[in-house]
Structure 1
Amino acid sequence: MHPDSTDPSDRQRRQVLALGAGLGTALALPLAATLVTPSAAQAAPSSPQPQGMTMSTITTKDGTTIFYKDWGPKNAQPIVFHHGWPLSSDDWDAQLLYFVQRGFRVVAHDRRGHGRSAQVSEGHDMDHYAADAFAVVEHLNLRNAVHIGHSTGGGEVARYVAKHGQPSGRVAKAVLVAAVPPIMAKTAAYPDHLPIEVFDGFRKGVADNRAQMFMDVPAGPFYGFNRPGVKPLPGVINNWWRQGMMGSAKAHYEGIKAFSETDQTEDLKAITVPTLVMHGDDDQIVPIANSALKAVKLLKNGTLKVYKGYSHGMLTVNADVLNADLLAFIKG
């Protein structure tokens, strides 16, 4: 449910919502005219449910326990999903069900410190994120896989493919959805990107009142529910909050540096497999001008697909459209 406006933390809530709105205004992103919600077209086909639904854990070389899901036929082409901050593999529900019901093997893990993976103290950086993903892939011996990453997970995919996936020949294709590369924060190389104060604000929100921040972000800019005429979906908001609060405050705090200050220019340049870049032009969290529009120019084999009026959370609220486009890319 929505927070009560009389709550003592109302001032912080207004600051978070204003931050999301301010990002969109500063970068002159267009307003969303309408929100496309999942339609009946996404309903499961009538084919039998594939066997082999597995949820388990592995232990990485540094002793971190990583939770993962492995569903579908083991001889089918695998699709590996990498989630965003501060969520878990549950954020891929609409995609996991869609693709497993169409005969694919789907794998998704909870990043270290997130969801059901171990709340370890160290390793909350892009190198460890990618290494943990590789540990899951090695354990399951996945080959010819399509790796799909959302937001921070897009950065994880870029680092994974560049450092682990291509050298081992395990990656067939990659997809970056509303992804953070090449870098979110302003640097000498990217002087038009977001000032570090934006991310300091996120760190303050996590440190001061993480539970309230994790209600405000999905209720506002993440799904575009702060746009005029867009009706908030309480279940979606509450599910975002649930996933976030399952994770570690330390992992979430330190993960802000990972997703905002990691320069992945060289990762993008190193990727040679076909890569689809998907981004909404009303993304208030990862502005398209700082990410997708630059990332596709750095990729050797990249294709850009822009979704007019779509938000950062389009994989959930526009799942019918995104899933069909993902399927077409994977089969193409």
Structure 2
Amino acid sequence: MSARNKTFVGLAVVAATAAAVWGAEQAAVRRSRRQEDPDALNEFMPAFDETHTFPSHDGGVIHAISRGEGPPVVLSHGVTLSVRTWAKQMEFLPGAGFRAIAFDHRGHGASVAGSSGHTIENLAWDVRTVLESMDLRDAVLVGHSMGGIAVLAFMVTFPEIAAERVSGIVMLSSMARTPLSGHEGLARFVGAISDRGPDVTGLLNRRDLGYLMSRVGFGSEALPSHIELTREMVLECPTETRRAAGRALLNLDLVEKIASIRMPTLVIGGTADVLTPPAEARRMAATIPGASLEIVPRGGHMLMFERTDLVNELISSFARRVQHSSASSGS
């Protein structure tokens, strides 16, 4: 075969492959979007009574919203997301008798990173800032993904403040380490959003491809509106924040430190979570003394949307138990 013919054949193969990938992408998106979606018209803008802004310890700004009255439940979102993650919980918890508080992590949503940037220690500091600035006591901290890492980091960095202000913690689809060897889904995700990977903004802006990329965070029962919301939140997160926050997660290992936590703890994971696999949930529950474990069949990484009723019930039941227990014991 001549060089020219080989070139034509090569181009034909590339074109055919691209067409096949594009066709598969379109078919997958169409299948997903055909399902009934009760949240199709939901814009996922969390309801709130008040907005709050606090200076961070290093000159940044932390933005929070609150709604309802009662014992506080503080909601800490994952990397590249925002308070919109908690729209369902901001709706449910006040009606269940709690004061729901959600905050944007530094550089995410309406919060601004301070001079020392994105580190695990700064995640801990920002949780402390919210608790102290709002003078919260008897609080339950709920952390999703990176937001769970922030909660753990706070607990082990500031144990005396935690003992004074916190009654319990809920770890939702989270982890205490980044095991980049052995968990390929997590490795790909962290690499993609950190300096190791290209800027994904262009891919996410391609609506169908961005939809498929965001679909990875869900299990088998994902709704199109929830996937689209995830795509929107990641796009809303500045590229600089995605990279810096991802870089901070590359070498995380809090496993030994969390064994010192002496606080009621509920760990929730999903069997279909490819970003923070259920093995990590089991490890956390086994390491934190007295922790309870809930593994959700077919649940993915975005359990607050995939299993809203279950997650709401687990959080509220846990909070009632530990906050009542804390009040009764006088702690």
- 1:219, distance to aligned residue in structure 2 (A): 3.9
Residue by residue, what CA displacement relative to the aligned partner does 1:47-66 show, whole Å, maximum 9, x if unpaired?
xxxx9811121111211011
- Aligned AA for 1:146? V
CA–CA distance in 2 between the matches of 1:120 and 1:279? 32
SS of the counterpart of 1:57?
A: strand
Equivalent residues in 2 for 1:1-332, closer than 5 Å: 53-73=49-69, 76-118=70-112, 122-164=116-158, 166-168=160-162, 169-186=164-181, 192-194=182-184, 198=188, 199-203=190-194, 207-213=198-204, 215-216=210-211, 219-224=214-219, 227=220, 230=221, 233-289=223-279, 291-332=280-321
CA distance in 1, matches of 2:246, 2:270: 21
What's the CA shift for 1:288?
1.5
Q: Report the Cα offset of residue 184 of structure 1.
A: 3.2
Q: What are structure 1's unaligned runs of at least 5 residues?
A: 1-7, 19-34, 40-50, 187-191
Larger Rg: 2
The offset of 1:154, in angstroms, is: 0.9
Q: How far apart, in 2, do the equivalents of 1:102 and 1:96 lie?
A: 11
Structure 1 residue 328, shift from structure 2 partner: 1.6
Cα gap change, 1:216/1:38 in structure 2, threshold over 3 Å: closer, same or farther?
closer
How far is 1:217 from its partner? Answer: 5.8
Structure-2 residue corresponding to 1:44: none
Identity %: 24
Helix, strand or coil at the partner of 2:100: strand
* 1:27-46 deviation line (CA, Å, top 9, x unaligned): xxxxxxxx99989xxxxxxx
Deviation track 1:184-225 (CA, whole Å, cap 9, x = no partner) reads 323xxxxx455996333443796333252482466421113x
Instruction: With the length of structure 2 as denominator, give the TM-score of the two structures.
Output: 0.75
The unaligned stretches of length 5 or more in structure 2 are 1-14, 26-34, 40-46, 322-331
Deviation string for 1:289-322 (max 9, x for gaps)?
Answer: 2x11211111012111111111111111210111
2:37, 2:224 within 8 Å by CA — same for their partners in 1?
A: no
Distance between the aligned counterparts of 1:218 and 1:57, measured in 2?
Answer: 32
Higher helix share: 2
TM-score (norm 1): 0.75
Q: Which residue pairs with 2:5 in the alignment?
A: none
Question: What is the identity, as a one-letter code, of the residue corresponding to 2:153?
Answer: R
State whether residues 186 and 276 of structure 2, in contact with CA within 8 Å, keep that contact through their aligned partners in structure 1: no
RMSD of Structure 2 on Structure 1 (CA)? 3.2
Offset at 1:68? Answer: 0.5
The answer to which structure, 1 or 2, has the higher relative contact order (CA under 8 A, 6+ apart) is: 1
